A and B are shown apart, each in its own frame.
Chain A
Amino acid sequence: MGTLNPIEKSGARDKRETGRRLPPTTRELHSGCLRHKLSPMLKYANPTQFLRLANGVIPWLAALAAALAAAGLYMAFFTAPADYQQGESVRIMFIHVPAAWLSLFVYGVMALAALGTLVWRHPLADAAQKTAAPLGAAFTFICLATGSLWGKPMWGTWWVWDARLTSELVLLLIYLGLAALWQTMEEPGKAARAAAILTLVGAVNIPIIKFSVDWWNTLHQPASVFRMGGPKIDPAMLWPLLIMAVAASLLFLTLHFMAIRNEILRRRLRRLAMLAAQEDAPARRPAETGARSAA
């Protein structure tokens, strides 16, 4: 019986012998049609490839975010008029509203990453999920704090327990809970799965936040940009708002790429430390045995 060549070892032999095709092996996945179909996912599933992409993209994203934020802030302070009811306080909206949108958007990203962890087992999905939680918490905090600073002169109170504000506060608590969950579990695989399940359960809060102003009678005003019939605010205010929203989204993307890059390096560092410990162990063992027998 001669030795099998590599192709004989794979599914081709089984198909010839049994008449049915077996699932592709890793070798087959990485060559031919399947590879072509999955190539974008496979390419960036590799952390080294992702690091290369991140290193190239981060400076451009950061520069674009800074340029748009500068333009948005200039328009917010110098070209947008004061509101006829809110007066100058309307300028708080140019940071409050993008932060509110981002607080929901980041959760959407985390929910997708949770699906990636549980369903597709994408190697970077759990890193994306873990690193998005503190960023989402920061945007939610900005939203709540600036909203409170707007509410005091406009509503006469820092806080009311209405549906929109309360559900946004619940979102902040979910973000903080998810960030804490990653810290409390030692085994990263278990933490990723637990965080993914909690993220998907918490996703029920997103439509509640969005539609709370329609479902309940709230002090918070209803949507004025993303609504049926189009935006109902003046273009002089809408443009700076949209520019600030794009700048905030680019800032999130930049920071998320940077944080995922950090997470990859942290895992690499942990693996290297374990390798070093494994290499040191056999060298230490004979010395310990010798010491014990001498005693």
Chain B
Amino acid sequence: MSADNAGYILAAYVIAIAVTGAMIVSIASDYRALKRRLAALPARAEGDAET
């Protein structure tokens, strides 16, 4: 593997992993925040919003 091409290959994999990781982290943190906000609301209304 020539040095130049190794840099391109590394950059391609770093970009792919970074974008994928960002997607995973953003969706997972959104889920955690939503669960926290739902838990903070009064439980009485939970049944009304089931569907």
Contact = CB atoms under 8 A, between A and B. Distances in A.
Chain B binds chain A: yes
A159 B27 CA distance: 31
B35 A255 contact: no
A149 B8 contact: yes
Interface residues on B, range: 20 to 34
A177 to B, nearest CB: 19
A132 B5 CA distance: 33
A95 B13 contact: yes
Interface string B19-30: 110111001101
A251 interface: yes
Contacts, number: 91
Given A92-B8, A272-B41, A255 B19 contact: no
Contacts of B45: 272, 275-276
Nearest to A276: B45
B29 to A, nearest CB: 10
B15 A149 contact: yes
A95 B23 contact: no
A11 interface: no
B20 to A, nearest CB: 7
Nearest to B26: A134
Contacts of A46: 51
Contacts of B16: 95, 99, 142, 146
A89 B5 CA distance: 6
In terms of DSSP, what is the predominant structure of the interface of chain B? Answer: helix
Interface residues on A, range: 35 or more
Nearest to B32: A262
Given A95-B12, A95-B16, A138-B19, A268 B28 contact: no
A145 interface: yes
B44 to A, nearest CB: 9
B12 A150 contact: yes
Contacts of B1: 82, 87-88
B50 A149 contact: no
A92 B19 contact: no
Contact of A145 (B5, B15, B27, B28): B15
A48 interface: yes
A92 B34 contact: no
Nearest to B11: A149
A265 B37 CA distance: 10
B38 A269 contact: yes
A33 B48 CA distance: 29
A245 B45 CA distance: 44
Contacts of B4: 153
Given A258-B31, A261-B31, A262-B31, A88 B6 contact: yes
A89 B8 contact: yes
B2 to A, nearest CB: 7
B28 to A, nearest CB: 7
Given A91-B9, A92-B8, A269-B41, 10 more contacts: A87-B1, A88-B6, A138-B19, A142-B19, A149-B8, A150-B12, A258-B28, A268-B38, A269-B34, A269-B38
